[in-house]
Structure 1
Amino acid sequence: MASTQDGATALKTITTDIPARLDRLPWSRWHWMIVIGLGTVWILDGLEVTIVGNLSDALKGDTGLGLTSADIGLAGAVYVTGSCLGALFFGQLTDRFGRKKLFIVTLLVYLTGTVLTAFSMNPLYYYAMRFVTGLGIGGEYAAVNSAIDELIPKKYRGRIDIAINGSYWLGAAGGALLTIPLLNPELVPAWLGWRLCFALGAVLGLAILFVRRHVPESPRWLFIHGREQDSDQIVSGIERQVAEEDEVELDEPEGTITVKQRHTVSLVRIARTVFADYPRRTILCLALFVGQAFLYNAFFFTFGDTLQTFLGVGQTGVYIALFAVSNFLGALALGPLFDKVGRVRMISGTYIVSGALLAVAGFTIGGLTAWTLTLFGMLIFFIASAGASSAYLTASEVFPMETRALCIAFFYAIGTAVGGITGPLLFGRLIESAGAEGDITGIAIGYYIGAALMIGGGVVALFLGVRAEQRSLEDIATPLSAQDADEPDDA
């Protein structure tokens, strides 16, 4: 590797076949290691959100923190605010310093936040630790989604990305079931049970950290940042491992790309790329993220509170576990269609259909029981889960390599700020006011807003969607370094 006199990596114009070599790989055991090491982090997020949703009664009681329904909604909003800021902060660092460094750091931030949450003694401390936990999770979304899409072959990228984002619901189901024994005062003291719920998230996080040590840096990031020899060494090692362990003969890669290497890209250049060069894609991502964030954060953050406040449910774990399983199965079953049927049809279809069903749920909510509301939610979110995951897939596919993590962070933050912060706050207030009157129909307005945003996102996808299925990332959006390749090398 060439270096300058001060030890920094020398930057030059190179031609490489690294993207083609990664994209032509067959699915292998090595790819499963990537899925386990990186993708399982969404299980942590699902665990966090579900535990909080299921702990509403425990946190309200004398053995909890004395929170109200509005306070629980506020805690959800604080967590999401931390996620938004964490995504933006760590997103730009991910593009600058690499995927691997940041997906290790962000997981450590998460672990710190969730462990300290277990020691909460008052509402203010609890809110602060929820914020720290959110910082780590938000950073994970940017760093991990970038790395996954850059390591997974183009033929499988859509289904794998959607299934991985859908694995959030495995965590949700696990969190819901774990709260059943831990919140049973006959098995665990009431003051201790809800604290153990948070501590268990840290155990899973440590296991993920152990696997993640073996995940390499993105070869795509390396060759753009002047480390083409490291990039080639990593890909050669992957090729040998795939060929030997899976006993396959690899096809010859087709195509090369010429890039002018860069250490960093200015925020001005990134902003011009996103808003001036790709305005239609920017509108598309905003519409998708706002719709799914409001839908999920409004409905799911407060689902347990709704069951307990209006429908006489004590332990909500079974209801939420069933709801969560349907979400994961939806992502798993519908994910392959995003590669086969195509992005545009599947994104628009999942958004519009799930939005329409949510509106129906709003109209009929006055006549629903705990079980029928849960069944309605299972049907709606079986479809919506794949659509929501496709928002992250879209943001990570349709912008140039050098902006990928920050773009994911930006759209996640904006969409979540609009839908994920206002959603829990609005639903918390709706539940509190409707609960005082004993009328569940008072929360229907939240369903209607979520339905309108989802349907709107689906309509936008119909007109502005990108046909990214089975195309290389460099073909979908030319890297800025490739656009600059005609410029003379730095002296």
Structure 2
Amino acid sequence: MTTSGQTKTITTNVPARLDRLPWSRFHWRVVIGLGSAWVLDGLEVTMVGNVSARLTEPGSGLAITAGQIGIAAAIYVVGACVGALVFGQLTDRYGRKKLFLLTLGLYLAATVATAFSFAPWYFFLTRFLTGAGIGGEYAAVNSAVDELIPARNRGRVDLAINGSYWLGAVLGAAGSLVLLNGDWVPLNVGWRLAFGIGATFGLVVLLVRRNVPESPRWLFIHGREEEAERIVDEIERDVIDRTGAQLDEPDRELTIHQRHTIGFREIAHVAFTRYPKRAMLGLALFVGQAFLYNAVTFNLGTLLNSFYGVSSGIVPAFFIVWAAGNFTGPLILGRLFDTVGRKPMIALSYLGSAVITLVLTAVFLAQTGGLWGFMAVLVATFFLASAGTSAAYLTVSEIFPMETRALAIAFFYAIGTAIGGITGPLLFGQLIGSGERGLVAVAFLVGAAVMAVGGLVELAWGVKAEGRQLEDIAAPLTSAGEAKP
């Protein structure tokens, strides 16, 4: 196995110094500057879901069908998969900060371009590029967040950040509710302005993100230990000045064989042969959440319009109700992932949402309670599912060696989403177009099944990661240590 670019061996206490810090303004800056990636994704996905019915109407300025909306959703997901894999590898090679600035820039440019769509093929292209930027964000941002947040807070913070996707969904739906009002804004203009919401917010985030430092953990492995020490010194001084806390001396050290570069083949080989059960766990969690979430999110507007007669201008109001339920799930349950534990809470989220999806299917078929009966059960389903989805990203970020962290996130996101996130929107889009409730119910049942599989795999192979230092959960490839399961 190659040791490309090996330089020297060092002993560092940087991880222990970071994990002992009390919560401070610095951590809020990380949460706001990096966690906003999920808000942006929520804006993007919800925007398309909200405007989907409007885009298919005469006079929208974009002659596109309901079936093509499903194709556009799938193309966005393909772009996210490609972006995650490409930028994930670059993030592990060139650092977290360079890539989380680059991927946000790509997202901004592609979102602005989407607003000027004039034909389906152009819309598909800009959705692919927007997805590529968001997919790259997942890899760069989640790896940086987990390496900067103290271990005792990592679960709840990760779930809250990933759950902020739904805060973006609420904002996008609220904005669309105004912009899709044909009495206030022309039909062919409102949906274009809706995409401007995401671009404007992204520009503000870019300004905040510039002040987030590079991950010290990444720096000391790649031969830049002096820079890592300087960044941690600055963080500690800021924490002491703002909180008045007296910091304990770090009680742990880590010995690292530094390397400027680590080969992709070495990363992939170690990550997926040393931890085969963890690999299957990551795959199961991502396939389950990707199918159910992408299927419903991209097609909820057309489903409400087709089966419940909800007009395109009112669809965003229902998105707000649904997204608010999704946002509260990780917020309310997140603390339990650090206290009760990862395995029981992730299993509960997946298996519980699978059971409620069966109830949702029955309500949809029998039309029990009409529109609001359907919405009530839908919100209950995704209250649990949203916590599980957020925990999937947390899981793959924690359970693999640091050198592979961004690539692991990218790999499982891409493979899981390629299997579940592409087939879900396509299947739902086509079955909704059929106008048959029975056929749409089949898609709901498939979603329940894949979520149940994720929950069962978590029960079998889940990792006890709560409160543990990242280097204890999975020892860096450049160290001699070995993590315990």
Q: Give the alignment's TM-score, normalised by structure 2.
A: 0.96
SS in 1 for 2:11: strand
Question: Does 2:348 correspond to 1:339?
Answer: no
More displaced 10-residue stretch of structure 1: 376-385 or 227-236: 376-385
Q: Offset at 1:165?
A: 0.3
1:183 corresponds in structure 2 to 180
CA, structure 1 residues 484+356, in 2 after alignment: closer, same or farther (shift >3 Å)? closer
Which one is further off, 244-253 or 153-162? 244-253
CA distance in 2, matches of 1:252, 1:383: 40
Specify which of 214, 232, 236 is matched with residue 233 of structure 2. Answer: 236
Q: How does 1:24-35 map to 2 (within 5 A)?
A: 24-35=20-31
Offset, 1:440: 2.4
What letter matches 1:190 in structure 2? L
Partner of 2:429: 428
| Structure 1, unpaired ranges of 5+ | 1-8, 486-491
Structure 2, unpaired ranges of 5+: none
Q: Is the 8 A contact 2:84 2:411 kept in 1?
A: yes
Is 1:174 equivalent to 2:175 in the alignment? no
1:374-409 CA distances to partner (integer Å, 9 max, x unpaired)?
111111111111111000000000000000000100
Q: Residues 147 and 215 of structure 2 are in contact (CA less than 8 Å); yes or no, is this contact kept in structure 1?
A: yes
Deviation at 1:360, TM superposition (A): 1.6
Supply the distance in 1 between the matched residues of 2:307 and 2:6 (Cα, whole angstroms): 65
After TM superposition, where is structure 1 displaced by more than 6 Å over at least 4 residues in a row? none
Preserved CA contact (<8 Å) 1:319 1:371: no
SS in 2 for 1:13: strand
Partner residue, 2:351 = 352
1:416 match: secondary structure: helix
1:140 deviates by: 0.1
Which residue is 1:406 aligned to? 407
Q: Which moved more, 1:61-70 or 1:293-302?
A: 61-70
- 1:388 to 2:389 alignment: yes
Cα distance between partner residues in 2 of 1:398 and 1:363: 37
1:252 is paired with a residue of what secondary structure? coil
Query: How far apart in 2 are the matches of 1:182 and 1:71?
Result: 22
1:58 aligns with 2:54: yes
Match in the other structure for 2:378: 377
Q: Shift in Å at residue 133 of structure 1?
A: 0.2
Q: Secondary structure at the match of 1:261?
A: strand
| 451, 463, 467: which one aligns with 2:448 | 451
Residue 10 (structure 1) shift? 8.4
Once the 2 structures are TM-superposed, how far is the Cα of residue 11 of structure 1 from its aligned partner? Answer: 2.1
Q: Is the 8 A contact 2:359 2:377 kept in 1?
A: no
Counting only pairs closer than 5 Å after superposition, residues 294-309 of structure 1 correspond to structure 2 as 294-309=291-306
Distance (whole Å) between structure 1 residues aligned to residue 85 and residue 437 of structure 2: 37
Q: For 1:197-276, list aligned pairs within 5 A.
A: 197-276=194-273
Higher mean alpha-carbon deviation, 273-282 vs 96-105, is at 273-282
Q: Identity across aligned pairs (percent)?
A: 57
TM-score, length of structure 1 as denominator length: 0.95
Over the residues paired in the alignment, what is the CA RMSD in angstroms? 1.2
Structure 1 counterpart of 2:353, which letter? S
Query: Do 2:351 and 2:452's aligned partners in 1 also have CA atoms closer than 8 Å?
Result: yes
Cα distance 1:10–1:388, how it changes in 2: closer, same or farther (>3 A)?
closer
Deviation (angstroms), 1:484 = 8.9
What is the alpha-carbon distance in structure 2 between the residues aligned to residue 270 and residue 449 of structure 1?
34
Give the deviation of 1:421 after TM superposition: 0.4
1:324 matched residue in structure 2: 323
Q: Which residue, 100, 103, 114 being the options, matches 2:100?
A: 103
User: Given residue 335 of structure 1, which amino acid in structure 2 is its aligned partner?
Assistant: G
Q: Match for residue 361 of structure 2?
A: 362
Query: What is the total number of aligned residue pairs between the two structures?
Result: 473
- Amino acid in structure 1 at the alignment position of 2:427: L
Distance in 1 separating the partners of 2:162 and 2:252? 30
